[in-house]
């Protein structure tokens, strides 16, 4: 008697191991096993987050959102920021949650994404300069309810927008979080409100400077002839002297 699995393989050879559809299904299964939303399936029991977890999560998320560069001048948001929430926790663990904020930008039909995370399980080195990590890897994420690492990444096609976002990352502030208490929610919100949008350089960025130079020199050259009338009094004086001499000749 054949099993249902054996019958399926015989009836549909495309699902046999080694075939493309089979590998595709296996990839989907692997992706599903790593999906964050399924993490609670490993919990024997769940619980509500503790007050300490709620406070740490709140501070972390406020700090992360404040660290995202504001939309550059002339740009816009593609959609709302993506932030991780604090849901039910597994019993027997502490701080087993993600801390990440992502913002989506658009300018002149070019798009870029900025993500900032705290306590990533793995760190990476990016020689292109589009990502940096500070601190050490945190396999247990935020188990100690402190900052073990900070990671930021800028993605998108090569463009002035992407470069402006890379330049806008406050590396000193992000690195300063590692091993130290996070700012309060109010402090982070104040920083976010004071952030100044960057000006994105365009391909014709040098043109205005040349125009300004032209505008500055033109009035000077035009004004030069206006100085010439200063020499007019000499001919006028000579004319007056000549008239006086003629009057003297005629006795008038």
Nearest alpha-carbon partner for 119 in 93, 94, 145, 84: 145
Q: What angle do CA 47, 52, 56 make, to 5 degrees?
A: 110
Cβ 32 vs Cβ 38: under 8 Å = yes
| pLDDT tens sequence across 40-83 | 557 889 999 999 999 999 999 999 999 999 999 999 999 999 99
Alpha-carbon dihedral sign for residues 209, 169, 172, 131: negative
Q: Each residue of 132-190: pLDDT tens digit?
A: 999 999 999 999 999 999 999 999 999 999 999 999 999 999 999 999 999 999 999 99
With tokens 């006028």, the residue in question is 236
Q: Are 107 and 72 in contact (CB under 8 A)?
A: yes
Q: What DSSP state is assigned to residue 37?
A: G
């Amino acid at each position: 008697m054949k099993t249902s699995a054996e019958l399926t393989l015989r009836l549909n050879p495309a699902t046999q191991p080694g075939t493309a559809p089979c590998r595709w299904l296996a990839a989907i299964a692997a992706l599903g096993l790593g999906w964050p939303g399924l993490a609670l399936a490993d919990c024997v029991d769940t619980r509500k987050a503790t007050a300490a977890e709620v406070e740490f999560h709140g501070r972390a998320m406020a700090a992360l959102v404040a660290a995202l560069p504001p939309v550059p001048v002339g740009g816009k948001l593609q959609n709302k920021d993506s932030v991780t929430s604090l849901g039910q926790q597994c019993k027997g663990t502490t701080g087993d949650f993600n801390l990440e904020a992502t913002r989506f930008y658009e300018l002149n039909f070019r798009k870029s994404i900025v993500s900032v995370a705290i306590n990533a399980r793995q760190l990476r080195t990016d020689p292109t300069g589009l990502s940096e990590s500070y601190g050490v890897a945190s396999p247990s994420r935020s188990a100690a309810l402190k900052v073990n690492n900070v990671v930021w990444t800028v993605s998108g096609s090569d463009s002035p927008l992407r470069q402006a976002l890379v330049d806008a990352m406050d590396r000193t502030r992000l690195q300063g979080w590692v091993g130290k208490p996070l700012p309060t929610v109010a402090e982070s919100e104040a920083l976010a409100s004071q952030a100044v949008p960057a000006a994105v350089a365009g391909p014709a960025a040098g043109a205005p400077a040349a125009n300004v130079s032209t505008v500055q020199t033109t009035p000077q050259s035009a004004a030069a002839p206006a100085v010439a009338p200063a020499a007019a009094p000499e001919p006028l004086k000579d004319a007056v002297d000549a008239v006086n001499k003629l009057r003297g000749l005629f006795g008038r």
